[in-house]
Each structure stands twice: as C-alpha cells, then as structure tokens.
C-alpha cells in the first residue's frame, strides 16, 4: 500500500519520489509538471508505472540521503544476509559555465555482502496511466515508446533479465540510466562515476553557501534542498508540490493538482530563501514573478500559474489512474486558477519589493517596474473589501476574508516603501495614507466583540490564516487583539496538538486533518509574542511528524492512541518545508550563543 514515506531526488528539470524499499513511485517527464512516467503512487496495479529493485527473500530495506545532497541511498538485505546498495540521483552540476540538468535518472546497484539475487521491474507508463508499452530491446538499452516522447534505459546489466523480470546474481556493480531516446556518449559505469562525483560536489557546495541556524541544521538543510528540487530552473517557478491528487484526508475528495506555482507562495518562499541566503534560487523565482507582471495585460491576476508554458490550467480527471490507495479522483489542472483570490496582488508586490531594497541582487527594481506595479496596487485597493475564495480556495462560497484584505493592505504599504526607495516621496506618502485608511477599516470589521481577530470581516470565524498578519506587518504580535487570537486558536483550532485551518464545514464537509503550515504559523506567532517555550514544544512535535528522511506533506492526520501519525496531501509540500525553515530561524539560538557561549 503506497504511503508518503518517500524520498525526493531531482535536478531542477525533473524529480522522482522513491519509496523506502527503493521503488520509484512518482516521476513526471520531461519536466516537473509533465506526464507521470512512474505513477505507482496513484495506481493500484501491482507493477504499472514503477521502477523497482528487490531481492529474493528480502527481509529489510533502509533508506537515507547522503548528507547535504539530493542523492538517495537504499540498502536491501535478504534472509541469508546478502545485501546490496541502490544509489539514485538526477545529475546536476556546473558544466561549460552553466548548470547541466538533463531529464535523466541514474540508478546504481552495488553488492555489499555476499551474492545477492536481484530482480529489476521497470514499467514506465504514458498518458496518465493509459499506456504501458512493452520494452523494445536494443544492443545495450531498452526503449519505451510513448505518444509524445520515447524513453531509453541504457545499462550494463543483463537486458533479458530486466525485460522478463527474472532474478539474477549481482556479482558486480551495475548502472541503469533512464533518459531521452539518444545514445549515451559513455559507458554506463563511466558515466555514473563522473556524474555521481560532480553531482555530489554540487549539492555539498550549494549547502555550504546557505545561511542556516545553529539549531535544527539537518532539518533546515533538508527543507532547503527540497525547495530547490521543487524549483523549475528553466523559468524559476516553484511548484507547490511534486504530486497531484494525494488526498488531504482519506475519502475526502480533496484531491488537487499542486504542480503549479501559486502567487501567495512567493511571499512565503521568498522569505525562506532570503533567510537562507539562497540568493540564486531567490533571484530565479523573482524573475518568474517579474515575468508574470511584465507579461500580464490585465490588472486582474489569477492566483496560480504553470511553471512554464505548455501545462494547461483547466481541470479534468485522469480516468486511468484510480488514485492514492484507490482514493480518487486524480485531477490534472486546477480550477482554482479561475477563482478570485484577492491576496494575489499583495503577494506579487511583497515579493518584488525585494528588488528595490536588496543590494545583493544584480537585477534591481526601477521606476519602470514601479509603474507596472502601481495598477496592481490600485486593483488591490479596489478589491480589498470584496468577497473572494480566500487562501483556502473555497469552491462553493465567497466571503470577505481577513487574510486577503490584509494582503491588499500590504500591497499599498509596500508600494509606499518602493516609491520611497526610488525617490518618489510624495507618492510614497499617498500610498501610506491609503494603506493606513484601509487598515483602519479592516481592523474595525475583523476584531470581534470578544477582542480576537476573525478570519472573515463582519463575522466571527476562527481561522488560522490570521496568524500570519504580524509577519506582514499588519498588526503587532504583542497587541491585545493578537494575543486574544492566539488563545482563541488554541481553544478552537488545536486538535491533538496540531492546528486545523478553520473549524467550520466547507464544500467537502468538516476538515479531518491538521494543516501543517497552520501549525508552523502558530509556532511563529507564539515566538513573536514572546511565548518561546510553547513555540518550542509545538515545533518539536511537528518535527517528529516528518517522514523517515525529513520531508513533510501538506496535512497530518489527528493522532490515534498507540498509532503513529500519517502524512496526507500532496508531497513534498513547499509550504510545509518553508514553514519549517522560518520557524527554525525564528527559534534557534544564535551561533554565538550556541557555540562560543556554550557552557
């Protein structure tokens, strides 16, 4: 039965999710939002859409990342003590002055002890599970023809045993290279040696340049690498997750395609990348957002975009994939693209404000960009107090959501900052006055008679999204209204030690799982309010819910006595990894306190 104990590999072009037993369960081709050639995660067929290595009489499998890399190592052992190691990675390194990142999976199988008997099952599919072609055998390769592209697996292992899935004795290391239908220029063993060494060095050097906190270093590094794996290098866009249609809760029908870039993610992701000093990734993402602004003909913005041209946003069902553990439907595209989500304007301007104030960046904001942003600010002022689908993308109702209104305020506030940065002080003053007036009206309508902040204007709705308001500067974290909100969230949204999004039923009924980002927001808010010990307790609780290699999905089931937590929702979720980074940076001791002043 598939679960989310998966490790992610990738290189900025493709990514693959590998289960604890070393099976590729999900991989889109030839880019992050492409056709899933491995789709076992959403299929109940025993072999379809998977790439597996197993031992005869296998009794154990252990898995880890090689430290500070996106290279996964899986150890398999049989009942007689024979063991082998499987190394999986996607090549990524600097070559000829640029980053080499082809659509390519490299799998190395090495005997460790004894003479293990191994079986390789390779079953790529096409058209979202509709086609599973038979392998066409070549001299040293197998070809899998599809409607849009053909895959080639080049190997120095016996082809006949792979085609017929027969066990064979592994007496020496072997390599399988899955790539485009082109001959390799080198023998698989030679190519592995070179690409492995260069990829290992790339990731270790990339991590060396990060600004990480003293505490929780390993968790932050893993989250940073995961954000990098969710970034599509060609455009700079970052997908919300690598998967589609992993349900938020069993039988809920909440199965969405997250292989798109949401504008609101830009605010959270930019914050994390900036704190990590992952400047190049941040600049690429800012370039993606900048391209949206410069290419947008209307001031009305959709909330999400494809990471690159070619992926349709229109939502439809993939009929040949039954879903995660048979729990569908499997959706391709996302209907949220047609929603009104008024926070998008604030997300764009909050992100691009970095270009006007960050002197590290080679691309800087100027008067021309400011002029492009001003119409978005005007739109934000116009729609701030109008109903929308909100951050939670309700499909059956629209209300005036506090988070959306506050993000519209942030658009006006940051335009004041931008105008001042380019020397337009009179315009900065005008934007500031308009922002202050809007904030006053929002506050008058979101503070409940009991003194806490409602998630909806003119109503009493307990909603975790208001926890982010201090982070954007809308309200002080130690204000009476926000402190009352923290207490209200704890009383009404805390379930089993984690935070729910909201307490009311939505289009699909009552929420059944905790939304991990909301728990991170609560940690951050507690820390900002000076309640550090409470924040630390919850943060450690969330860290304990990570999977075996330190990754998080979107949701977490509520605890059942005697049973471990189970992750739900699309995976790995950038929101969750961003939340981990921001909270670790907030709560960690300084390097001086942790190292130089240690007792």
Q: Which residues contact 207 (CB under 8 A, 6 or more apart)?
A: 68, 69, 221, 224, 225
Residue 276, φ and ψ in degrees, nearest 5: -80, -10
User: In this structure, are residues 307 and 261 in contact, taking their beta carbons and an 8 Å threshold?
Assistant: yes
How far apart CA 478 and CA 530 sit, in angstroms, is 8
Which whole number is the average pLDDT over 486-510? 91
When pLDDT is averaged across residues 238-258 and rounded to a whole number, the result is 95
What is the per-residue pLDDT for 278? 87
531 CB contacts (<8 Å, ≥6 apart)?
486
pLDDT digits (tens, 9 = 90+) for 389-400: 999 999 888 999
- pLDDT for 194 equals 97
Give me the pLDDT at residue 474, please.
98
Residue 599's pLDDT band (cuts 50, 70, 90): low
Q: What is the mean pLDDT of residues 128-152?
A: 95
Question: pLDDT grade, residue 594 (50/70/90)?
Answer: confident
Distances (CA, A) of 500 to 192, 371, 463: 46, 40, 8
Q: Which residues pair with 179 in a beta bridge?
A: 152
Q: pLDDT tens digits, residue range 318-357?
A: 999 999 999 999 999 999 999 999 999 999 999 999 999 9
Confidence of residue 598 (pLDDT cuts 50, 70, 90): low
Average pLDDT, the chain: 94
Residue 1: pLDDT over 80 = no
DSSP string, 277-326: T-HHHHHHHHHHHHHHHHH-SSS---SEE-SSTT---S-EE-TT---BTT
| Chain centre to alpha carbon of residue 187 | 35
Q: Mean per-residue pLDDT for 490-509?
A: 90
Q: How many CB atoms neighbour CB 196 within 10 A?
A: 18
* Confidence label for 360 from pLDDT (cuts 50, 70 and 90): confident
């Amino acid at each position: 039965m598939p679960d989310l104990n998966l490790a992610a590999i990738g290189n900025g072009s493709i990514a693959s999710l590998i289960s604890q037993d070393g099976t590729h369960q999900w991989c889109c081709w030839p880019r992050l939002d492409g056709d899933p050639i491995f789709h076992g995660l959403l299929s109940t067929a025993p072999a379809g859409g998977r790439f597996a290595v197993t031992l005869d009489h296998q009794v154990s499998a252990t898995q880890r990342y090689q430290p500070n890399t996106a290279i996964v190592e899986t150890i398999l052992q049989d009942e007689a003590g024979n063991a082998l190691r499987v190394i999986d990675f996607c090549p990524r390194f600097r070559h000829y002055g640029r980053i080499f990142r082809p659509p390519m999976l490299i799998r190395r199988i090495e005997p460790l002890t004894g003479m293990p008997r191994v079986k390789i099952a390779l079953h790529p599919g096409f058209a979202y599970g509709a086609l599973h072609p038979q392998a066409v055998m070549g001299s040293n390769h197998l070809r899998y023809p599809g409607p849009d592209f053909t895959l080639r697996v080049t190997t120095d292992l016996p082809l006949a045993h792979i085609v017929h899935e027969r066990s064979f004795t592994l007496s020496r290391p072997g390599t399988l290279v899955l790539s485009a239908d082109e001959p390799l220029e080198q023998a698989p063993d030679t190519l592995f040696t070179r690409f492995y060494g260069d990829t290992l060095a790339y990731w270790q050097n990339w991590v060396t340049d990060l600004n990480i906190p003293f505490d929780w270093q390993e968790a932050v590094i893993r989250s940073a690498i995961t954000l990098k794996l969710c970034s599509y290098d060609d455009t700079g866009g970052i997908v919300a997750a690598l998967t589609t249609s992993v349900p938020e809760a069993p039988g809920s029908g909440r199965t969405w395609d997250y292989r798109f870039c949401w504008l609101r993610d830009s605010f959270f992701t930019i914050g994390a990348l900036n704190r990590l000093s992952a400047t190049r990734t941040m600049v690429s993402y800012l370039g993606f957002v900048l391209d949206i602004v410069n290419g947008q003909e209307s001031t009305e913005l959709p909330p999400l975009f494809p990471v690159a041209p070619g992926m349709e946003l229109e939502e439809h069902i993939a009929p040949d994939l039954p879903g995660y553990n048979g729990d569908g439907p499997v959706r391709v595209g996302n209907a949220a693209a047609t929603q009104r989500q008024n926070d998008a304007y604030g997300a764009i301007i909050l992100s691009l404000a970095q270009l006007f104030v960050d002197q590290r960046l080679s691309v800087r904001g100027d008067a021309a960009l400011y002029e492009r942003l001003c119409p978005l600010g005007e739109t934000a002022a116009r729609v701030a107090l109008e109903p929308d689908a909100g951050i939670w993308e309700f499909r059956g109702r629209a209300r005036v959501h506090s988070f959306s209104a506050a993000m519209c305020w942030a658009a006006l506030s940051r335009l004041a900052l931008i105008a001042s940065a380019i020397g337009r002080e009179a315009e900065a003053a005008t934007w500031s006055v308009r922002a202050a007036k809007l904030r006053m009206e929002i506050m008058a309508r979101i503070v409940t008679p009991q003194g806490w902040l409602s998630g909806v204007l003119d109503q009493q709705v307990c909603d975790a999204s208001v926890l982010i308001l201090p982070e954007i500067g809308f309200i002080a974290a130690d204000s009476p209204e926000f402190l009352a909100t923290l207490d209200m969230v704890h009383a009404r949204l805390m379930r089993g030690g984690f935070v729910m999004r909201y307490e009311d039923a939505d289009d699909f009924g009552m929420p059944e799982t905790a939304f991990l980002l909301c728990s991170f927001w609560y940690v951050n808010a507690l820390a900002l309010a000076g309640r550090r010990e409470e924040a630390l307790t919850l943060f450690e609780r969330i860290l304990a819910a990570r999977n075996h290699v330190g990754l998080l999905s979107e949701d977490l089931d509520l605890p059942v006595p005697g049973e471990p937590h189970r992750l739900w929702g699309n995976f790995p979720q950038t929101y969750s990894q961003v939340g981990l980074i921001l909270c670790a940076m907030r709560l960690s001791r300084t390097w001086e306190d942790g190292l130089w002043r240690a007792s």
